[in-house]
Structure 1
């Protein structure tokens, strides 16, 4: 796809613009510490891993909310609080605390400078299945819109989030470029809608054998900038 046709660039967040695991680990630890003070019997019986297993069980028994990770966490906490005979309204404060810490991310060094350089020339929209709030991170004010699975009502690879980005910006699929780290929920999901997709592979992972290879792979966003400016970085056969 000729670079000159691109009007909209959509970005995944977790592990595309910032590392996900450190923020989640810190947020889960902060939540568990909070539970030690407010629901000690629960915190004594459940460590972080067993609480994670409980949330997975909630997702399996309530698939209609599985796309909304914050709601899943809230429902899981309500069940655990009820079991240990604590007030269920403690779940509100617990989730609020978690979400505050979840958004304390540290973007990759290339993310902010590249996004700032793109903003004058492209519409930028973030698309995430996670529950970090982009406006509570160092990337606040960068994106025209921030779309989440919880807000849309469906998680990628469902096309709803991509379609909403196109609607909000008045762009066609062939004028959009998506970047993300996940071969299935980012690259393949975008390609299914006719959206050009770039795989952001920061850690040297192997591409799944069962998927057609990505048209372009970058290890950082500076390579994206070079490609948009007509350079020849990254692994590309010409999007």
Structure 2
């Protein structure tokens, strides 16, 4: 593959590590704790899906715009406990601590990621650009990235292309210097391309590309990306 990239930027959740599986398992732990307290949500038994719905509702409220993921998650547990009409004042905090402990314990990179990043770092500068709250040290990737751009810290959120321009400023690079790699067609591919940056779509689920404008590259994992970039 012919290119002149000087750096690669990566999304985190769903690209480098399996956030959804860790979150699901952590929500199951929180669900078990709520059920043990005798909780029932208004429409029936407490479930992980319901807790996720409550969290998504809270995240969409204007008062939580720009708040940290941790504060949104705690607020969602507070709302869930209130809706279950549980009077235990400390239960929401206990749910939050249980969830966070389980999430960090279970969060892992995909198997292809560590070796691929080592190989790619031999030729390119690497950056992490994420809306999430996982710093590299949480997944044994401390020291791998030359720049780490976290939305809650810089105040810019995907799919706003300004977050990619911010990353360019941090690395003192031009759009043509960078290839962004991510799993989300909107937040990663479209947003990066609107910033003038080429994008590679990591399609781990063998999904169909949903839009007419295509990414620069489509790969099934980072092993395939490494082969294409390093030859």
Q: Over aligned residue pairs, what C-alpha RMSD do you find?
A: 2.7
What is the match of residue 209 of structure 2? 207
For residues 164 and 93 of structure 1, the distance between their equivalents in structure 2, rounded to whole angstroms, comes to 37
State whether residues 32 and 43 of structure 1, in contact with CA within 8 Å, keep that contact through their aligned partners in structure 2: no
Judging changes above 3 Å, is the alpha-carbon distance between structure 1 residues 218 and 167 closer, same or farther for their aligned structure 2 residues?
same
Picking from 176, 179, 186, the partner of 1:177 is 179
Judging changes above 3 Å, is the alpha-carbon distance between structure 1 residues 73 and 159 closer, same or farther for their aligned structure 2 residues?
same
- Mapping for residues 27-106 of structure 1, pairs under 5 Å: 27-35=26-34, 40-42=37-39, 46-62=46-62, 64-65=64-65, 68-82=68-82, 83-87=85-89, 90-103=91-104, 104-106=106-108
Q: CA deviation at 1:18?
A: 2.6
Q: CA deviation at 1:92?
A: 4.4
The number of residues matched between the two structures is: 225
CA deviation map 1:71-102 (0-9, x unaligned)? 221112223445522325x5445334423332
What is the match of residue 23 of structure 1? 22
Name the SS of the counterpart of 1:85 in structure 2: coil
Q: Normalised by the size of structure 1, how large is the TM-score? A: 0.80
Q: CA deviation at 1:192?
A: 0.3
Q: Normalised by the size of structure 2, how large is the TM-score? A: 0.83
State whether residues 7 and 124 of structure 2, in contact with CA within 8 Å, keep that contact through their aligned partners in structure 1: yes
**Where in structure 2 are there 5+ consecutive unaligned residues?**
none
Name the SS of the counterpart of 2:226 in structure 1: helix
Q: CA deviation at 1:64?
A: 4.5
Q: CA deviation at 1:46?
A: 2.9
Q: CA deviation at 1:57?
A: 2.4
State whether residues 18 and 108 of structure 1, in contact with CA within 8 Å, keep that contact through their aligned partners in structure 2: yes
For residues 66 and 31 of structure 2, the distance between their equivalents in structure 1, rounded to whole angstroms, comes to 22
1:162 matches 2:164: yes
For residues 18 and 79 of structure 2, the distance between their equivalents in structure 1, rounded to whole angstroms, comes to 30
Judging changes above 3 Å, is the alpha-carbon distance between structure 1 residues 227 and 100 closer, same or farther for their aligned structure 2 residues?
same
Moved >6 Å (runs of 4+): none
State whether residues 201 and 219 of structure 1, in contact with CA within 8 Å, keep that contact through their aligned partners in structure 2: yes
CA deviation map 1:131-159 (0-9, x unaligned)? 33331113333222333332233431112
Judging changes above 3 Å, is the alpha-carbon distance between structure 1 residues 55 and 204 closer, same or farther for their aligned structure 2 residues?
same
Q: CA deviation at 1:221?
A: 1.6
Q: CA deviation at 1:34?
A: 4.1
**Where in structure 1 are there 5+ consecutive unaligned residues?**
232-239
For residues 228 and 187 of structure 1, the distance between their equivalents in structure 2, rounded to whole angstroms, comes to 18
CA deviation map 1:205-239 (0-9, x unaligned)? 10113x3112211112222222223x4xxxxxxxx
State whether residues 180 and 199 of structure 1, in contact with CA within 8 Å, keep that contact through their aligned partners in structure 2: yes
State whether residues 66 and 155 of structure 2, in contact with CA within 8 Å, keep that contact through their aligned partners in structure 1: no
For residues 201 and 73 of structure 2, the distance between their equivalents in structure 1, rounded to whole angstroms, comes to 29
What is the match of residue 136 of structure 2? 134
Judging changes above 3 Å, is the alpha-carbon distance between structure 1 residues 109 and 55 closer, same or farther for their aligned structure 2 residues?
closer
